[in-house]
Amino acid sequence: MSYTSPIINFESVDKFYGNFHALKDITISVNSGERMVICGPSGSGKSTLIRCINGLENHNSGKLTVDGVEVFEGSKDIIRLRQEIGMVFQQFNLFPHLTVLENLTIGPIKVRKISKPEAEIMARKYLERVHIPEQAEKYPAELSGGQQQRVAIARSLCMESKILLFDEPTSALDPEMINEVLDVMVELADTGMTMVCVTHEMGFARKVADTMVFMDEGKIIEVAPPEKFFSKPDSDRCREFLEQILEH
């Protein structure tokens, strides 16, 4: 077995929103190149968990390290660390005042200090990768939801980061557009990138996940490889949840 070190490591992490205990004693790690899918009912803390990884939320206690750097509130390293962590949001969050190409190049140019022509070559390469090279000059508002989300994925790829986080990337999409986004994500998974993905798309999860995680009420209930997770999970709560979402 090849040795892989954890690139993301949660150690007894707790997170509160006021009195609400959003994350309860989270201990979990993600290895470099691992593809982890997190699922669970809404309000279970999955989004909070994934948003802690790049410091969009700050945990209150415990220790979180990403790529060897500790993440904590007010950390000076977080800006540099975020360059190594791409994120794809439920609501796409493309920059509406920039064209697709500019959306993709602004990070490399301004943050990574890559020259503009070089950044544009890279941006077009990744647009090709997400199958929309012809949309480069358009504004986000001119694209369909599925196309916007693929642009958002390409934007994360352009930063050439080590880790990609997906926060319910298909939840805001019309049903007929979900597959075009999932296809791109499956292709990405094949490249060996470290991925942490919050999603309810169990077909996708079965296809790509190395590890399945089930969360409920701020706790991690079940961590298992997909074969075991989908056939005989240890916890009843997880089984109930899976029965409900796999029913239809």
Partner 1 sequence: MGYNWQWYQIPKYIYRYTDNGFQFGELMFGLWTTITLSFSAFALAVILGLLLALLRLSGLFIGTKVAVCFLEFVRNIPLLVLVYLFYYVLGPVFKYDRYTASILCLAVYHSALISEILRAGINAVAQGQWEAAKSIGMSKAQMYRYIILPQSIRFMLPPMTGEVIHMVKSSAIVSVIAVAELTTLGQNIISDTYMAFEIWFTIAVIYMIVIMILSIGASQVERRYTVTN
Contact residues for partner 1 (CB under 8 A)? 54-56, 79-83, 85-87, 89, 91, 93-97, 106-107, 110-111, 152, 155-156, 159
State the nearest-atom distance from the C-beta of 211 to partner 1, in Å: 23
**Residue 95 CB, nearest approach to partner 1 (Å):** 6
Q: Select 10 or 92, whichever has its Cβ closest to partner 1.
A: 92
Residue 14's DSSP bridge partners are: 61
- Pick the closer one to partner 1 by CB: 46 or 229: 46
CB of 188 vs partner 1, minimal distance in Å: 16
User: 45 or 233: whose CB is closer to partner 1?
Assistant: 45
Compare residues 39 and 152 and give the one whose CB is closer to partner 1.
Answer: 152
Q: Which is nearer to partner 1, 9 or 54 (CB)?
A: 54
Other CB atoms within a 10 A radius of the CB of residue 76 amount to: 6
Distance in Å, CB of 117 to partner 1, minimum:
19
Minimum CB separation from partner 1 for residue 38, in Å?
Answer: 18
The 35-39 sheet, strands edge to edge: 85-88, 163-167, 194-198, 35-39, 211-216, 219-224
Shortest distance, CB of residue 226 to partner 1, whole angstroms? 27
What tokens does 60 get? 């209150």
- Measured from the CB atom, the residue of 45 and 140 that comes closer to partner 1 is 140
